[in-house]
Structure 1
């Protein structure tokens, strides 16, 4: 299928339904439809594939949306190549969900993080599945980077947490996490244009159903690279065993760099699945450390993985100007900005800033300054105390 078909969008003037084609950015469209209250119709989902229609993990995501909303109308055609979604009210509350093991829990948690602050009741969600894989952000990155970013928008520390109860590696999973998030009436505007200098790097080397020495080998290899850049390095080891280790063997490393201004940048890698080429722990440690240094070089106040969350919260903030300095925009963020224009009529002013122009920036690549005026999104479901 040609790439341009994946981005095709039109609007039905009679019914105020946004129409898209293709499977790309499926999650973005449903999240923004839920927040904006606009219905969305997605057609031609993998129409020309040998196995057309929705994948199991996408169907699982739709079921999760149905659980945290009240009154949603979801229609899927017989072949699964067409979806109509009319969002209901965000209810929240206590939910349990067995996530499909084609994708990790990060795929579902990223959506919950966007929606949870605007629910009627605080969310307490227990999700089961794969906690760490090579595609989606791990539960460690969401706990150490995503949640601190939410606090910058006025979401209270009290009741905001992510606990890893069990770890699960692909392909069989077996992990379990507890996610809690309070609700807010309005989001605070953001002015975050000074990333600061990196002052320390922390990390977690984890292992599931492997030798306890594996995590230590990862730590030694990663520190061998990072200590050439910074002296303040500490990487914890988290060796799971028994019931807490899930159903498949695996290991990996998650790193977080913290700056003097409170910005967090992340990088992570995990081992290959059974049946693929075996992963050497030392290679994984060194490669993850190099990814961390690359993310630091890209710079900005948020890393490339959290750009879309930051711009969403900026757009939904009070009717005031928000500013954010980032590294080069990822393709995912570029499309997210297009979708924000479709659903909320919000457009960002984008200014590129080269490293030569910035006297304070002694190293690193070009930066992007994002500026927008918030729409004043208000959580009308929040009970007035």
Structure 2
């Protein structure tokens, strides 16, 4: 057996995406200098857990996961956005929605988490389907859900009232639901926030999240027992910020919002050797890095063409032909 040739990478930037692409493309990687300049260098606990999960799945083991963690924070998209927007993107690429579900058993806010979700994924067909997805449509409705854990239930109503005050000037079809959790279902830390999604006449879903929670402390027990805790953003400001951010995403155009650009490009690249064509708003730094990672790991290059009439960007590519080989051959 010859010596393994590794692709050498540095830093923690897009660590999860690089692991995913390396696994899909069977590319050995060596990641060095992970947070070498930080006070706490190296991998974070959630990254170690991801590595262990990938190792088990790649070895064709049966994995049962029952982890408690964070479901809503200010860094990543919430489980609400994942359920209402991310999962529905998959149907554009031929993934059946039957059996595709995400159930929120309990919510968890930073720093102590305590959230738990159940994710069900159906058997994906042999390959994805190339997509021609450029029609943005016009916004016809806005839906949303507030979350609140270990705080007053009235906070949710204050967020909704503030958000509707922004939307009522533009569109009447606005419905925002509440999800207040207490006890074990509310996790171990207080927090609240708002997840919004706009649906267009062509079926596009544009989403945004705003979450508020106490900052992470070096010693969470000290913060938990402390009588003086930092003030969190008022619920009214959360509602206005979430609504304004969603309007900004709509203004940018595209068939997905800025946080879903990376996933959209990845799905296009994994399609069969056929042309996929999609429209997005202004390319984000994360989206650009995703295009580079796709080129390096999958060998897929996108043709990028700005559309000055709509201030959007059209991207086209030929998929790498990734197939699902997880089933037994008769």
TM exceeds 0.5?
yes
Shift of 1:352: 0.7
Query: In 1, Cα distance between the equivalents of 2:35 and 2:199?
Result: 41
Match of residue 201 from structure 1: 142
Shift of 1:92: 7.2
1:306 to 2:272 alignment: no
Contact 1:192 1:301 in 2 (8 A): yes
Shift of 1:59: 1.5
Shift of 1:94: 4.5
Match of residue 75 from structure 1: none
Shift of 1:27: 1.1
Structure 2: unaligned runs, 5 residues or longer: 216-228
Query: In 2, Cα distance between the equivalents of 1:69 and 1:193?
Result: 35
1:129 to 2:69 alignment: yes
SS at match of 2:65: strand
Aligned length: 315
CA deviation vs aligned residue, 1:45-81 (integer Å, no higher than 9, x gap)? 22233332222222222122223221xxxxxxxxxxx
Match of residue 376 from structure 1: 321
Query: In 2, Cα distance between the equivalents of 1:30 and 1:193?
Result: 29
Contact 1:252 1:284 in 2 (8 A): yes
Query: In 2, Cα distance between the equivalents of 1:278 and 1:309?
Result: 31
SS at match of 1:290: helix
SS at match of 1:375: coil
Moved over 6 A (4+): none
SS at match of 1:152: helix
Query: In 1, Cα distance between the equivalents of 2:210 and 2:157?
Result: 15
CA deviation vs aligned residue, 1:111-138 (integer Å, no higher than 9, x gap)? xxxxxxxxxxxxxxxxx21110000110
Contact 1:253 1:285 in 2 (8 A): yes
Aligned with residue 96 of structure 1, among 54, 65, 89 = 65
Match of residue 247 from structure 2: 293
Shift of 1:209: 1.2
Structure 1: unaligned runs, 5 residues or longer: 1-12, 71-90, 99-127, 359-365
Match of residue 270 from structure 2: 316
Match of residue 146 from structure 1: 86
Contact 2:109 2:213 in 1 (8 A): no
When the two chains are superposed, the root-mean-square deviation of aligned CA atoms in Å is 1.7
1:21 to 2:28 alignment: no
Task: Map 1:21-40 to 2 at 5 A.
Answer: 21-40=10-29
1:230 to 2:171 alignment: yes
Contact 1:64 1:97 in 2 (8 A): no
Match of residue 86 from structure 1: none
1:279 to 2:233 alignment: yes
CA deviation vs aligned residue, 1:293-327 (integer Å, no higher than 9, x gap)? 01111110011111111111111101110000000
Match of residue 177 from structure 1: 117
Shift of 1:276: 3.2
Match of residue 69 from structure 1: 58
CA deviation vs aligned residue, 1:155-182 (integer Å, no higher than 9, x gap)? 1112110000111111111111000112
Match of residue 104 from structure 1: none
Match of residue 244 from structure 1: 185
Q: Relative contact order (C-alpha < 8 Å, sep 6+): which is higher?
A: 2
Query: In 1, Cα distance between the equivalents of 2:162 and 2:121?
Result: 36
Greater per-residue strand proportion: 1
Match of residue 49 from structure 1: 38
* Cα gap change, 1:165 to 1:36, in 2 (>3 Å): same
Structure 1 range deviating more: 156-165 or 374-383 = 374-383
SS at match of 1:129: coil
Shift of 1:382: 2.5
Match of residue 85 from structure 1: none
Query: In 2, Cα distance between the equivalents of 1:294 and 1:273?
Result: 26
